[in-house]
Structure 1
Amino acid sequence: MAETQRNLGEFGFAGDDHVVPFAVEALDIRGRSVQLGRLIDAILSRHNYPEPVARLLAEAMTLTVLLGTSLKFQGKFIVQTRSDGPVSLLVADFSTPHSLRAYASYDAELVDEAIKAGRTSTEDLLGKGVLALTVDQGAHMQRYQGIVPLDQTSLEEAAKIYFRQSEQIPTDVRLAVARQLVRGEGGEARWRAGGLITQFLPASQDRARLPDLHGGDGDDGQNGHVEDDSWSEAQALVATVEPSELLDPTVGSERLLYRLFHEHGVRVFEGTPVRDECSCSRERLHGILAGFTAEEMKESAEEGVIKISCEFCSETYHFDPAEFLNKDQ
């Protein structure tokens, strides 16, 4: 996908639900910034999750679009957690060029207990498990998957560990989520999310080399860093970003990037739109059911109807077993 460079403010700003790539050549960094508005509110509202669960899934979706929109081919990028905490599963699925869907699985009683006890951080809700980042290039290509242990780890930190260990690319990740009141809409609260990923990609590989990768048990991961003035300065600048800046629609991705890097000269590129689109369809499910045997069809039916609900978009499809069984007669 070709990136079109544009100056700050040229042709307007990308606005919500667009991932904005950027580059700061003086610091040898590239990255992407995003603010998610109606898209993320629609997905979370559809499921009616408890607020801490919704907040966690919003972080996963934000991370997914920041990474998934960098793909240069037709395929999928999937962020998935499996863990022993109150939220046992998060799945955020991005299909190029712009489709996002997501869902969470959780224990309602455990989540309620966590809320009452005030233990609703990412680390508390996920517990111990794994974060898997999967690149799927289609049926005829090999899948690539990176696994990061989750042990009282935030999604931000887990993403940094992934890039440090698997890609050996110095990376900083910032995520923010909030439910905000919207003016002019009767005081209704809507979900918003924002994210920023910054990566150190100098022309010289020696400058980007990580001198000390994770050493195994007992390694706190603090030695996996790059002693480079440009990367140190970039990290220091990114550290100044407040969560409110990542979320504020009056700031926007381009203005935020200008605030951070204008002294070094920041270039932004045409934003990539992200849409709330699920890949499920009646036709696809019909094709799957057509392969069932008569016995499997009978076991799947309830009161003479086969009901299939999509976990991602909550759409429910109804099928009459007779339309499949009659084909065999």
Structure 2
Amino acid sequence: MQTDKETHGEQGFAGDDRVLPFEVSGLDVRGRAVQLGPMIDAILGRHAYPEPVARLLAEAIALTVLLGTSLKFEGKLIVQTKGDGPVDLLVVDFSTPGNLRAYARFDDGRLAGAMAAGLTSPAELLGRGVLAFTIDQGEYMQRYQGIVEMNGDTLEEMAETYFRQSEQIPTLVRLAVAELIDRDEDGKPRHSWRAGGIVVQFLPHAPERMRQPDLPGGDAPEGHEQAVHDDDDSWAEAKALVSTVDSGELTDPEVGAERLLYRLFHERGATIYPLVPVADKCSCSRERLGEVLKGFSAEEIRDSTEDGEITVQCEFCSTTYRFDPAEFTG
């Protein structure tokens, strides 16, 4: 495996919470791989989400990290689902170069019913709705947003549908989440979360090679035969290789991103690029919230006051901010 001389952790491992970009020129594919450890454990741990919700949000985090670290400008990538299922909202907010925050909203009663019935797949938890990818390059640039229906049984399939419909880039996504339970030095149970993922995209120099099989035409005349377009041989080979990845390999720290890429692409040769570290870091602050409260009317300030103070808790990082109402009254 070739490298650009970047030192990839101890013994050549990328390690946790660092995205590894790569390219396989022999197959005209580029991609990124990641294993998330302390970062994702901190995000999920502070909310104590039920297990199915934690897994779903962890997948969304891994997906957002893989996509967000490809941004070549200062800005944000926001990945959001909004549906009619028990988990009606997922929001993952990635700010370049590597800061991330995430939040899941769910209905306790509906979730309990779904879990009792064994309905805990991503499609069953999210229900019908939309998956949105928003790119924000700052206040002086127009936001770009791509939206697709949440068609597919998994978050992987939903993301691949987005790239196929909105970006017209052949894309393969694999995501995995692991819940680890062991014991500390005192013999007490210890719980932690891990996640991993890989995204691979086909980017040949000749755009016509990116042609994919046509999507079904909902308004096609009766008897119309759908045109068939086979995958490019290189893309078919790349997909076949990535399809062999086991979920455990994506989260096992003993495997590591570089070892996984070597196993997949050593015959074709993979070039790896500098690591991109990612961190659990929320963008909330007392100053920002104070500016919001300054815009409240006197009545709104009174309605927001309880026991002589205004309390605001960030939904993302759970930090609690307390304000004296006198700060916002004339």
- How does the TM-score come out when normalised to structure 1? 0.92
Is the Cα contact below 8 Å between 1:33 and 1:253 reproduced in 2? yes
Are residue 5 (structure 1) and residue 9 (structure 2) matched?
A: no
Q: Which amino acid aligns with 2:304?
A: S
The 5-angstrom pairing of residues 76-91 of structure 1 reads 76-91=76-91
Is the Cα contact below 8 Å between 2:14 and 2:275 reproduced in 1? yes
- The aligned residue for residue 209 of structure 2 is 207
How many Å separate the matches in 2 of 1:182 and 1:125? Answer: 28
- The aligned residue for residue 262 of structure 1 is 266
- Alignment root-mean-square deviation, CA: 2.1
- The aligned residue for residue 301 of structure 2 is 297
Q: 2:249 aligns with which of 228, 240, 245?
A: 245
Q: Which amino acid aligns with 2:287?
A: E
Q: 2:287 aligns with which of 283, 293, 313?
A: 283
Deviation, 1:154, is 1.6
Any runs of at least 4 consecutive aligned residues in structure 1 with deviations exceeding 4 A, and if so which?
7-11, 182-187, 222-226
How many Å separate the matches in 1 of 2:252 and 2:230? Answer: 32
Identify unmatched segments of 5+ residues in structure 1.
Answer: none
**Change in CA separation of 1:115 and 1:281 when aligned onto 2, cut-off 3 Å:** same
**Change in CA separation of 1:26 and 1:183 when aligned onto 2, cut-off 3 Å:** farther
- The aligned residue for residue 64 of structure 1 is 64
Is the Cα contact below 8 Å between 1:130 and 1:147 reproduced in 2? yes
Deviation, 1:275, is 0.3
The total of aligned residue pairs comes to 320
Q: Provide the secondary structure at the position in 1 that maps to 2:292.
A: helix
- The aligned residue for residue 100 of structure 1 is 100
- The aligned residue for residue 175 of structure 1 is 175
How many Å separate the matches in 1 of 2:95 and 2:228? Answer: 32
Is the Cα contact below 8 Å between 1:164 and 1:213 reproduced in 2? no
- The aligned residue for residue 156 of structure 1 is 156
Deviation, 1:125, is 0.7
How many Å separate the matches in 2 of 1:7 and 1:323? Answer: 51
Residue by residue, what CA displacement relative to the aligned partner does 1:14-46 show, whole Å, maximum 9, x if unpaired?
Answer: 200011000000000000000000100100000
Deviation, 1:300, is 1.6
How many Å separate the matches in 1 of 2:42 and 2:314? Answer: 16
- The aligned residue for residue 231 of structure 1 is 235
**Change in CA separation of 1:296 and 1:123 when aligned onto 2, cut-off 3 Å:** same
Q: Provide the secondary structure at the position in 2 that maps to 1:87.
A: coil
How many Å separate the matches in 2 of 1:217 and 1:16? Answer: 47
Deviation, 1:216, is 4.0
How many Å separate the matches in 2 of 1:242 and 1:88? Answer: 29
Is the Cα contact below 8 Å between 1:164 and 1:224 reproduced in 2? no
Deviation, 1:178, is 1.3
- The aligned residue for residue 188 of structure 1 is 190
Deviation, 1:299, is 1.9
Deviation, 1:148, is 1.2
Deviation, 1:7, is 7.4
Q: Provide the secondary structure at the position in 2 that maps to 1:233.
A: helix
Deviation, 1:183, is 6.6
- The aligned residue for residue 118 of structure 1 is 118
Q: Which amino acid aligns with 2:290?
A: H
- The aligned residue for residue 47 of structure 2 is 47
Identity of aligned residues (%): 63
How many Å separate the matches in 2 of 1:291 and 1:240? Answer: 55
Deviation, 1:213, is 4.3
Q: 1:274 aligns with which of 267, 271, 278?
A: 278
How many Å separate the matches in 1 of 2:217 and 2:133? Answer: 22
Q: Provide the secondary structure at the position in 1 that maps to 2:15.
A: coil
Q: Which amino acid aligns with 1:111?
A: L
**Change in CA separation of 1:240 and 1:279 when aligned onto 2, cut-off 3 Å:** same
Deviation, 1:10, is 8.0
Identify unmatched segments of 5+ residues in structure 2.
Answer: 221-225
- How does the TM-score come out when normalised to structure 2? 0.92
Residue by residue, what CA displacement relative to the aligned partner does 1:251-289 show, whole Å, maximum 9, x if unpaired?
Answer: 110100000000000111111001000000111111221
Q: Which amino acid aligns with 2:34?
A: V
How many Å separate the matches in 1 of 2:172 and 2:25? Answer: 17
Are residue 318 (structure 1) and residue 318 (structure 2) matched?
A: no
How many Å separate the matches in 1 of 2:193 and 2:31? Answer: 24
Q: Provide the secondary structure at the position in 2 that maps to 1:41.
A: helix
Q: Which amino acid aligns with 1:20?
A: L
Are residue 19 (structure 1) and residue 23 (structure 2) matched?
A: no
**Change in CA separation of 1:216 and 1:274 when aligned onto 2, cut-off 3 Å:** farther
